[in-house]
A and B are shown apart, each in its own frame.
Chain A
């Protein structure tokens, strides 16, 4: 009985989760007429690639994609470095105020972007960073770093103490111990953290919307938002854009979904 319930539940969840994805993907392969006049509902007939080609050649999507990639890579780099350093210090170095720092990281993580976007806009404007990707390079770490640090604290803590001790006994300094011994071992954690940072950066919308107005410097989410609210209606292209935007994250995610689940847990549930 419970077995049947479990299977039923599984199927239900699969449907709930996959149907929306399928709907979008399927529409991305339909022609304008099929969508406009609802000629075929479930399966695109004829199946067409024109939305994808049109998206690529007629809109600024390739540019936005490039911007998103560049931003995500730069932010990932910054975040991983900052988070690794801070995470290591909090996890492995006993210094006064250690617990306070960990608390601050948690608190900062919980401050919502919706609160900061206005004053942050002014700060970035004063730095001359607005209207370019620099605004994102500076602002994105504010939410990626706390999360990644929290994650890495967990990872570093899980490594045995003895390793560093051995290195320190051998006369190596802290920094060498960190770089030569800890980092390589924490590699899976670093990878997970990097992919988190990439995903968070890839999907961000509010800051990109507010800080950048130049159409050539937009990222994908903001560009898509622009397309949908215009007077022209290339629905198929929008769907195609959605598919293309989701694929990289899904691909990356394949590698680390185990860590992701555990990372979420590490972030949300301690003990």
Chain B
């Protein structure tokens, strides 16, 4: 059973926002809605700046599903969290519950009217006929039904953003880390997000021994 996930390699992300652009273009997402965005921490701190691309993480135990008062969320056989926009009442509970800020609400109406929730679908559409106009209008492109992966991951120029079955992309990432020539120290929070103290710098590189020529 596949379990679709995203994995962003903070060592590779160059904050080009290509994934954001790819998502907006592929799904024709309206103004004011960002299904995906690039978050940068330690912005401007030399050597400590890290970027990571964030969207719906399609949680295995999704809090948005738990709090939705109208039960409009469902999970597909591939572990993709989707929702039915015909049921959504735009209450925003899912936005408060989501730790990633994934749910988005169009505010095109008068008086700050909040529309129906919109979020990353893992390019899997929604509960309309696959690859139909109705599905595209409401949820965007259904690339999974075309035998493809999400546009953001497939468009990523540095392949920082990986998308697909959690097991497969974890293997790709593991292989990559091993090839970087570092060991187990490259895993974990410290490497992914830099030193713990705000503004702290990573350790200075060790001087290389002089080589005789």
A, B from the same assembly: no
* Interfacial residues, chain B to chain A (CB-CB below 8 A): none
